[in-house]
A and B are shown apart, each in its own frame.
Chain A
Amino acid sequence: DTAVSQTPKYLVTQMGNDKSIKCEQNLGHDTMYWYKQDSKKFLKIMFSYNNKELIINETVPNRFSPKSPDKAHLNLHINSLELGDSAVYFCASTSRGLAGSAGLETQYFGPGTRLLVL
């Protein structure tokens, strides 16, 4: 039973298209994240939601819009795709943890979505 799942696993699309990636976790966690991993394997946080509320919004083009319909889901919509958006996108989740210890919680990662923009 997959803890953090992402769909699709692969996504090949043309420049200028709009696409969405979905993430679901069945761990009962309160916090979910989107990361982008570039071709050099560098992992950079994009967004984080805690109890459906946006808490981290890094310097990401506003073509990227996350949406959390409930605590178990965090989707990522990308408008007007560009070549530089090609990467692997990872979803992750953590529990809230004890008060003041959110940073210590283990992140559980999905398998990634490999996006290729042509």
Chain B
Amino acid sequence: AQSVTQPDIHITVSEGASLELRCNYSYGATPYLFWYVQSPGQGLQLLLKYFSGDTLVQGIKGFEAEFKRSQSSFNLRKPSVHWSDAAEYFCALNTGGFKTIFGAGTRLFVKA
């Protein structure tokens, strides 16, 4: 069965520091992969997505993610975090149909 694992329940980084959020997936072929962000009290918003081609994907708000087939990973990165990036981040997987499977989320805290 397909699954998405986000190993870190929460992460704290200092403002201006770099960020990497981990995501691992389980699926026999190459899935469609997504990162969504949920600000407090809001719905989810797409940051970026990957389905083929260049394994480094650029998204909104300065985020990028790299697909590594050998590691079944799709980690999200940002070179310099801003206080407004504090939110819940969800990695998600879709195998081509209507059902998307979400990871449990990683809560990002940003300290001044």
Contacts and interface: CB of A to CB of B under 8 A. Distances in A.
A binds B: yes
A9 B107 CA distance: 23
Nearest to B102: A43
27 contacts: A31-B98, A40-B104, A41-B38, A43-B102, A43-B105, A45-B99, A45-B100, A48-B99, A55-B98, A92-B44, A102-B96, A102-B97, A103-B32, A103-B95, A103-B97, A103-B100, A104-B49, A104-B94, A106-B34, A106-B46, A106-B49, A107-B36, A107-B44, A109-B36, A111-B41, A112-B41, A112-B42
Contact of B43 (A55, A56, A109): A109
| Dominant secondary structure at the B interface | strand
A42 B100 contact: no
Nearest to A102: B98
**Could you say which interface size class chain A belongs to?**
20 to 34
A45 B94 CA distance: 12
A19 B44 CA distance: 24
Interface string A96-117: 0000111110110111100000
Contacts of A4: 43
A90 interface: yes
A50 interface: yes
Nearest to A90: B43
Contacts of B45: 109
Given A56-B98, A110-B43, A111-B42, 18 more contacts: A31-B98, A41-B88, A41-B107, A43-B44, A43-B90, A45-B100, A90-B44, A92-B43, A102-B97, A103-B94, A103-B95, A103-B96, A103-B98, A104-B32, A107-B44, A109-B36, A109-B44, A112-B41
B30 to A, nearest CB: 12
Interface string A42-55: 11110010100001
A46 B43 CA distance: 16
Contacts of A107: 36, 44, 46, 100
A14 B38 CA distance: 29
